[in-house]
Amino acid sequence: MHSNIQLFADLFLHSGIPDIFLSSELDPAEEEINETIYALWLKPNSGIFNVHLLSRRRWTGPGEPRAKARVENATNLLAEKLGSNEKVNPTEIFSLLRNQIEENPDIYGAAFAFAPVNENGTQILSAPYVYRDGDAIKEKYLPDNYNYPESQWYAEPVRLQQPIWSDPYYDDGGAGADVLMTTYSVPVFTGDKVPRLIGVLTGDLLIEKKKPCGIT
């Protein structure tokens, strides 16, 4: 850690640019990431810098391989089941997603975003979502104004026709703007000779539930 501070201190002493930097360490034994955020200020015309600790936190992050593998396996199994039953409806989906959450403690939330349907020139979106809220498990539809086909967790697996992990993001449309997560998404197609997209199944891995801190 001290070597990191000295490295960045040397950079800022020569550039004169105050900035913040982050140090992250993976603890394989505890399967946690230890993250420390520092800020450096260079005093004008002095060559002296101050180091301030902004925050220190520990979280099970998206780099934790075993949790990611468990989320992937559970989501892939449910996606295979959905692909064999293309007539599944939103009511059935809520039951399947709730069961997915209850049986897999690594999954923070799960959604099935149906492929958009055009009715009389209007795009119809439907995405049942089940997620953890403390000790409770809650159900809802993603908001009508949340255009999920443009989101990375939906658009990329559809384009690539294969599962992906999303970049970490704050879930404004789902569990809440204070929830930082990464999402494993599996596109679900029919088994026809010309496969048709049914929707995208997701499994969320929580990074942290905390509003990002700003510097004033």
Domains located in the chain, CATH noted = 2-59 (no CATH), 65-209 (3.30.450.20)
Give the Cα separation of 37 and 53 in Å (integer): 6
Beta carbons of 78 and 93 less than 8 angstroms apart? no
- Report the pLDDT value the prediction gives residue 37, as an integer from 0 to 100: 46
pLDDT digits (tens, 9 = 90+) for 127-166: 999 999 888 999 999 988 889 999 999 999 999 999 999 9
Distance of alpha carbon 195 from alpha carbon 215, whole angstroms:
50
User: What are the structure tokens assigned to 98, written together?
Assistant: 């709730």
pLDDT higher at 12 or 81: 81
Q: What are the structure tokens assigned to 106, written together?
A: 């690594």
Average pLDDT, the chain: 76
pLDDT tens for residues 61-115?
A: 444 678 899 999 999 999 999 988 767 787 899 999 999 999 999 999 999 999 9
| SS3 assignment, position 32 | strand
pLDDT confidence tier of residue 8, bands split at 50, 70 and 90: very low
Report the pLDDT value the prediction gives residue 148, as an integer from 0 to 100.
93
Q: In the predicted model, is pLDDT for residue 11 greater than 70?
A: no
According to the model, what pLDDT value does residue 171 have? 72
Residue 112 to residue 130: CA distance in whole angstroms: 9
Residue of higher predicted confidence among 66 and 1? 66
